[in-house]
Amino acid sequence: EATDKNLSRFSFFKLSNYSKYFDVDTQDVTTRMLKSVNPRGNFVETIQLKPDLYGPFWIPTTLIFLLFIVQSVRSDTTAYKELSVAAFSVYFYVYCSPVLLWGVSKYFELQPNLLEFLTFYGYSLTVWIPAILLCVVHIEAVDWLALFIACGSSGYFMFKCLDNTLYASNNKMNR
């Protein structure tokens, strides 16, 4: 019995506890990625029953890899320093920002779901993948246009998701 209590304290570190958050198929991830770039879609309804961590891990990882490749192609040298900066920045955005937002929401006595926040932030980067690929062209106007559109689309997606989620959370509390 004492051993079970000691082991349960460390269950946070067991990978098997997280397998349910990676239980998605290609169709699920593809649908979520498409809805994250569609301004008319309701992404929150798509994930409410089954938020995942598969997309929020692989989308940022793909983005980091593409940033590294594009930078290396554009500069004739391998950009290892930029790779570490990109990895830190992207993973910080995807994993620390939702935790901070979740903490602030809890402080204001809302009932947010941290897993939903992580899912929103991860899928919000989908639109950046084609934008970064366009930057290979290396035409400054194309670079700026692609980045501007990606920033606006990603920001709008996050606004919609957070607005819907926090509004619903606030309504649950007021009942």
Say yes or no to pLDDT of 85 above 90: yes
pTM to 2 decimal places = 0.85
Query: Given a cut of 70, is residue 7 above it in pLDDT?
Result: no
* Average pLDDT, integer, range 23-27: 86
Q: Up-side HSE of residue 19: CA atoms within 13 Å toward CB? A: 5
* CA separation for the pair 161, 36 (Å, rounded): 10
Q: Average pLDDT of 103-113?
A: 88
Q: What is the pLDDT of residues 152-167, one digit of tens each?
A: 999 999 999 999 888 7
Q: What is the dihedral of CA 110, 123, 43, 155, to 10 degrees?
A: 70
